[in-house]
Amino acid sequence: MHSLTNRRILLGVTGGIAAYKAAELIRRLKDQHADVRVVMTKAAQEFITPLTLQALSGNPVHHSLLDTEAEAAMGHIELAKWADLILIAPASADFIARCHSGMADDLLTTLCLASVAPIALAPAMNQAMWGDAKTQNNMQALEKSGMFVFGPGSGSQACGDIGLGRMLEATDIAARCAQLFHSEKLSGKHIVITAGPTREALDPVRYISNHSSGKMGFALASAAIDAGARVTLIAGPVNLVTPERVTRIDIISALDMHAASLKACEDADIFIASAAVADYRAADIAEQKIKKSGDEIQLTLVKNPDIVASIAALKNKPFCVGFAAETQNLEEYAKGKLQRKNLDMIIANDVANTAIGFNSDNNAVTVFTSQSQKEFPQCSKQLLAQQLLSHIHQAL
The residues annotated as belonging to the active site are 159
Residue from 337, 344, 367, 389 touching ligand PMT (CB under 6 A): that is: 337
For the bound state, the minimum distance from the C-beta of residue 193 to ligand PMT, rounded and expressed in Å, comes to 10
Considering the rule CB under 6 A, would residue 279 count as an interface residue with ligand PMT? yes
Rounded distance, CA 141 to CA 7, Å? 27
For the bound state, the minimum distance from the C-beta of residue 210 to ligand PMT, rounded and expressed in Å, comes to 8
For the bound state, the minimum distance from the C-beta of residue 251 to ligand PMT, rounded and expressed in Å, comes to 12
Closer CB to ligand PMT, 167 or 219, in the complex: 219
Q: Within positions 202 to 231, which residues make up the interface with ligand PMT, using CB under 6 A?
A: 212-216
Closer CB to ligand PMT, 85 or 307, in the complex: 307
CA 257 centroid distance within chain: 25
Considering the rule CB under 6 A, would residue 199 count as an interface residue with ligand PMT? no
Q: Report H helices in 15-67.
A: 21-31, 50-57
Residues ≥6 apart with Cβ < 8 Å to 262? 310, 311
For the bound state, the minimum distance from the C-beta of residue 2 to ligand PMT, rounded and expressed in Å, comes to 24
Residue from 57, 253, 349, 387 touching ligand PMT (CB under 6 A): that is: 349
Considering the rule CB under 6 A, would residue 323 count as an interface residue with ligand PMT? yes
Q: Is 340 helix (H, G, I), strand (E, B) or coil?
A: helix
C-alpha closest to that of 194 among 278, 275, 263, 262:
275
Residue 263 CB neighbours (<10 A): 12
Considering the rule CB under 6 A, would residue 312 count as an interface residue with ligand PMT? no
For the bound state, the minimum distance from the C-beta of residue 56 to ligand PMT, rounded and expressed in Å, comes to 31
Cβ(372)–Cβ(360) below 8 Å: no
Cβ(280)–Cβ(302) below 8 Å: yes
Rounded distance, CA 299 to CA 203, Å? 11
Cβ(67)–Cβ(109) below 8 Å: no
- DSSP state letter for 352: T
Q: Annotate 227-244 with DSSP letters as a single string.
A: TT-EEEEEE-S---PPPT
Residue from 84, 106, 226, 306 touching ligand PMT (CB under 6 A): that is: 306
C-alpha closest to that of 389 among 216, 249, 239, 248:
216
Q: Within positions 147 to 166, which residues make up the interface with ligand PMT, using CB under 6 A?
A: none
CA distances from 186 to 6, 114, 177 (A): 21, 30, 20
Residue from 26, 307, 320, 364 touching ligand PMT (CB under 6 A): that is: 307
Strand partners, 367: 347, 374
**Region class of 303: left (phi > 0), else alpha (psi between -120 and 50), else beta:** beta
Considering the rule CB under 6 A, would residue 359 count as an interface residue with ligand PMT? yes
Closer CB to ligand PMT, 155 or 336, in the complex: 336
Considering the rule CB under 6 A, would residue 358 count as an interface residue with ligand PMT? yes
Of 34-42, 125-133, 139-147, 274-282, the window that binds ligand PMT (rule: CB under 6 A) is: 274-282
Of 21-29, 75-83, 174-182, 301-309, the window that binds ligand PMT (rule: CB under 6 A) is: 301-309
By rule CB under 6 A, what count of residues binds ligand PMT? 28
Closer CB to ligand PMT, 96 or 343, in the complex: 343
For the bound state, the minimum distance from the C-beta of residue 206 to ligand PMT, rounded and expressed in Å, comes to 20
Strand partners, 270: 191, 319
Closer CB to ligand PMT, 59 or 210, in the complex: 210
Give the residues lining the site for ligand PMT (CB under 6 A): 194, 196, 212-216, 254, 273-277, 279, 304, 306-308, 322-325, 337, 349, 351, 357-359
